[in-house]
Amino acid sequence: MSHPNEVLVIEDEKEIRELMALHLLRQGYKVIECSSAEEGLRAAQNKSFDLIVLDWMLPSMSGIDFLGQVRGQNPTTSVLMVTARTEPEDIVLGLEKGADDYLTKPFEPSVFLARVKALLRRVELFNEKKKNDESVLQLMGLKVDLNTYDVTVNSEPVHFTPSEFKLLVVLLQSRGKVLTRDELIEEIQGEGVNVIGRTIDTHVFGMRKKLGAWSENIETIRGVGYRVKVEV
């Protein structure tokens, strides 16, 4: 099951901020509320959000100034600007500064939610396409080319069997996530490949031996399965 989308709401008017958060929570999203752009920047530095809902007229730092800074930190996060500034030139400026969509106040909650869902769908489609288009996986000196089936560690070639290669790829694509033996069996089972029982452990042993010191990045989760560490 995919994790719920995480939304950062930056709005200085308490009633409006809480109204937005309430509607988002009802849709199953995780929400963090901030009353200023500075507070929002601190939140965005500590974690990555799927969407930022942003007011323009904020105390101290404006939403436009916030956009200029957050785009440097989180260039792929979607931003929905929700503001009382309704002039066409304001809308144009907001979009030019980096907002992905612009909604004027007062707004209907149903319209607000429709805009949020549209932006999140766009993000999901982009991420899926990016994932499908990714042909080279790299992590801490390890490079795996899905087109040529070449594997190198610090530019030194490593030769894997087809099962070992498939296993390494699925672990890298799911890095940070624990995959059970049954999930790994399902992923690497294929034509000419018969994977049963503890065969997965044998493949992992072979991978680790060939990867040398890099194998420390493959963790055994006792009684469950395996995972590849996330780069830090």
One-letter identity of residue 209: K
**66, 10 contact by CB (below 8 A):** yes
- CATH hierarchy code of domain 6-133: 3.40.50.2300
What burial class does residue 35 get, using C-beta atoms within 10 Å of its C-beta: 0-12 exposed, 13-18 middle, 19+ buried? middle
Please indicate whether residue 185 or residue 212 has the higher confidence score (pLDDT): 212
How would you label 168-180 residue by residue, b for 16+ Cβ within 10 Å and e otherwise?
bbbbbbbeeeebe
Q: Does the structure show a pLDDT above 60 at 225?
A: yes
In the chain, domain spans = 6-133, 136-228
- CATH hierarchy code of domain 136-228: 1.10.10.10
Band the pLDDT of 132: cuts 50, 70, 90.
low
Question: What's the pTM value of the predicted model, to 2 decimals?
Answer: 0.57
Band the pLDDT of 232: cuts 50, 70, 90.
low
Percent of the chain with pLDDT over 70: 86
For the record, the structure tokens of 199 come out as: 């065969």
Q: Does the structure show a pLDDT above 70 at 157?
A: yes
Band the pLDDT of 190: cuts 50, 70, 90.
very low
Instruction: Report, as an integer, the average pLDDT of 150-175.
Output: 87
Give the model confidence (pLDDT) of 197-215 as tens digits. 467 787 788 889 999 999 9
Please, what is the angle between helix 199-211 and helix 181-188, to 10°? 80
Instruction: Give the per-residue pLDDT at 191.
Output: 39
- Mean pLDDT for the chain overall: 85
Give the model confidence (pLDDT) of 103-127 as tens digits. 999 999 999 999 899 888 877 765 5
User: How far is the C-alpha of 38 from the C-alpha of 200, rounded, in Å?
Assistant: 49
Instruction: Report, as an integer, the average pLDDT of 158-163.
Output: 77
Band the pLDDT of 189: cuts 50, 70, 90.
low
Give the model confidence (pLDDT) of 37-85 as tens digits. 999 999 998 888 999 999 999 999 999 999 888 876 776 688 899 999 9
